[in-house]
Structure 1
Amino acid sequence: MATKSALETQLAVVAGFEDPRADLEQYPTPPELAAHVVHVADLNGDIEDRLVVDLGTGTGMLALGAALRGPSRVVGVDVDRTALTTATANRRRVGTKTSIDWVLADATRAPLCPAEPTTVLMNPPFGAQRGNEHADRAFLETAARLADVSYSVHNGGSQEFIEAFAADHGGAVTHAFRATLSLDRQFEFHDADSEDIDAEVYRIEWSGGDE
């Protein structure tokens, strides 16, 4: 298994959004965070020889990270066609030969019904935009339907919500760790050139993912 730092180096070539949309909260997943999430998932046996689904894949960072760790195949789902075009180009930059399908669809209504062991990786919207509150809830609902295990990035202070949601949907949080999202200025309403956001990553085992 390649080291986490080697994976981060491989993902450093992934290009960001050409024209990010604020309504979709299109912030790039930093390569160091993606490498950490994928590495932890791999150590837990949640990548190799499994289907990996990246919900809200954006430019493909998590999907491509997983593709470098020996899954059976990878599916990246996103509603933004332009982002998927960038993800396709990023695959060429990263150079992975793993089968990847880019699916143009609402990730919260992903047209998938996997019959094989499935891991969901996702960095869903935090719901920071007005009218988009609790946006991550719909992503979690989809993960509960598709997968038997998921890894998701959430806003800091989400533990009570995540644990309660998992319990209500036949799941259980098995791992949690803190992370920092270092985001460059992307939208006009941003005041600073960059900002560090406290985040949390959760591994959830779902009992109904294969049903």
Structure 2
Amino acid sequence: MATKSALETQLAVVAGFEDPRADLEQYPTPPELAAHVVHVADLNGDVEGRLVVDLGTGTGMLALGAALRGPARVVGVDVDRAALLTAVANRRRVGTRTPIDWIQADATRAPLCPDAPTTVLMNPPFGAQRGNEHADRAFLDTAASIADVSYSVHNGGSQEFVESFAADRGGEVTHAFRATLALERQFDFHESDSEEIDAEVYRIEWAGDGGD
């Protein structure tokens, strides 16, 4: 297995959003965070040989990270066609030959019904924009319906919510770790050129309809 630092280096070529949309909270997932999430998932046996789905894939960072670790197939779902076109280009930059399907659709209503062991990786919107509160709930709902395990990035202080949400759907948080999102200024309402946001990553085992 390649090291986490090697994976981070491979993902450093992934381009971000050309014209990010604030309403979709389109912030790029940093390569160091993506490498960490994928590496942990791989160590837990949740990538190799499995179907990996990236909900709200954006320009493909998590999907491509997973593709470099030997899954059977990767699916990236996003509502934004422009972001998916960048993801296609990013696949060429990364150079993976793993089968990847890019699907333009609402990730909270993903048109998927997996019949194989499935892992979801996602960095969903935190729900920071007015009218988009609790956006991560819908992403977790989708993960519960299609996967038997998921890894998701959430705003700092989300542990009680995530654990309660998972339990209500027959799931269980098995791993949790802190992370930092280093974000560059990209919207007019940003007050500084860069900002570090406290985040948390959760591994959840679901007991729902995920493929087995």
Q: TM-score range by the shorter chain?
A: over 0.9
3-state SS of 2:45 partner: coil
Q: What does residue 114 of structure 1 align with? A: 114
3-state SS in 2 of match to 1:178: strand
How far did 1:189 drift?
Answer: 0.3
**In 1, Cα distance between the equivalents of 2:10 and 2:170?**
36
Aligned to 2:104: 104
Is 2:19 the partner of 1:43? no
Aligned to 2:141: 141
Q: Point out where structure 2 has 5 or more consecutive residues left out of the alignment.
A: none
Distance 1:200 1:83 in 2: 24
Corresponding position of 2:19: 19
Listed as ranges, the gaps of 5+ residues in structure 1 are: none
CA distance in 1, matches of 2:58, 2:86: 8
Question: 1:200 Cα shift?
Answer: 0.1
Counterparts of 1:58 and 1:148, CA distance in 2: 23
**5 Å matches for 1:27-176?**
27-176=27-176
In the aligned structure 1, how far is the partner of 2:21 from the partner of 2:207?
34
* Cα RMSD after superposing both structures: 0.6
* 1:158 shift after superposition: 0.1
**Structure 2: distance between partners of 1:32 and 1:86:** 19
Report deviation, 1:210. 3.1
Is 1:177 matched with 2:147? no
CA–CA distance in structure 1, aligned partners of residues 183 and 195 of structure 2: 5
What is the match of residue 210 of structure 1?
A: 211
Q: TM-score, normalised by structure 1?
A: 0.99
Which 4+ stretches in 1 moved above 6 angstroms? none
In structure 1, give the amino acid aligned to 2:110.
A
> How far apart in 2 are the matches of 1:96 and 1:18?
22
1:190 match: secondary structure: coil
